[in-house]
Structure 1
């Protein structure tokens, strides 16, 4: 199965772009962040390891305490690395199992930190979605109940667009939906040509 990674900085619109591939061309999409959150809530092993790392406050009424965790990792980079070391291998295994069940010319793996986590190495091709920083910040402020400072901090923890583009096969500039849809169509056609 051909695996196409799709990534982009926070607020770039990678999920929206992935959805166009799914809706217009029937391409299966695996959203790594959503699956990670689901596994953090459902996996007993992950729960035990996160409680061992962050204490009982990691979960509130049996559900992941995202507010508490984001404060913990916001102030301590080593805790973020340890949390990723717990979660990422399980997400990778889950993804592998998911891929085996798909029947399509290729699948999309959407991940915010595709490069940072090293999971880009499992992809045959990579699409980076970009948008102007001001647009991205605006989108995230609208979407999440957060502050400009927090968004800025996330931006600083992610690779720059330039660095991502260097390692990407395709770039989609997500400014207007119409233009984005055209770029998705072109990219889909190019991928089909590449995989023959």
Structure 2
């Protein structure tokens, strides 16, 4: 990838505050590339990736309006791990290519790649530094159960399926502990913003 600017990978577990952090960086004029949004875009109606998925799984994977039947596909790959591997072999390269393209178009002093699976997907290889929005599991449980109206058991299962907190901490270059207020999160983001601006300037 022929990158022109510093790229920061922003990640964190469910309920950590990744979106609140990236939204704030966006107000500071920083280009944000969201891997979740890209993942939805690459399977939009009429896309080559969606056509490949339909050819593999058949018409049941497409809804009447021509869009991806996510619920049906989720159930299918849950029942058959081999189908999950096939799906990832098609979607992951498409997602990565789109992310690279968007990062190369960034015009801000540095750009941020937001990805909940930054380390698991290998997307951290596209970045110069990684920033973890970190919270204790008890806070994750409380926030996510309240936000998504899920039971604590459901949220706990999601947390356990993600990379362990300690491993994320060990792999991240920078860490913001987000267990207090939004204002304090934004203040810490601002401090890292100044640091990344300096790093980007030094990199030129």
Partners of 2:160 and 2:196 in 1: how far apart?
Answer: 31
Q: Deviations over 1:52-84 (max 9, x none)?
A: 444422221211222222333344444333322
Distance 1:79 1:138 in 2: 34
Q: 1:127 to 1:76 in 2, by over 3 A?
A: farther
**Residue number among 107, 111, 115 corresponding to 1:111 in the alignment:** 115
Structure number, greater radius of gyration = 2
Aligned mates of 1:194, 1:37 — CA distance in 2: 32
Q: Distance in 2 between matches of 1:92 and 1:170?
A: 23
- Return the match for 1:180 from 162, 168, 185: 185
**Distance in 1 of aligned mates of 2:117 and 2:56:** 22
Superposed CA deviations along residues 68-116 of structure 1, whole A, max 9, x for unmatched, are 2233334444433332221121111112221222211110000111111
Secondary structure of the 1:171 match is strand
Q: Tell me, what secondary structure is at the counterpart of 1:139?
A: helix
Instruction: Answer with 76-85 or 108-117: which moved more.
Output: 76-85
Considering only aligned residues, what root-mean-square deviation do their CA atoms show, in Å?
2.1
- Segment drifting more, 105-114 vs 39-48: 39-48
Structure 1 residue 9: Cα displacement: 1.1
1:41–1:89 distance in 2 versus 1, CA, 3 Å: same
2:9 is aligned to 5
Structure 2 counterpart of 1:50: 53
- Return the TM-score normalized by structure 1: 0.88
Q: 1:46 to 1:144 in 2, by over 3 A?
A: farther
Which position in structure 1 is the counterpart of 2:158? 154
Instruction: Please state if 1:32 is matched with 2:35.
Output: yes
Counterpart selection for 1:98 from 84, 97, 102 = 102
TM-score (norm 2): 0.84
The number of aligned residues is 195
Between 39-48 and 161-170, the greater mean CA deviation after superposition: 39-48
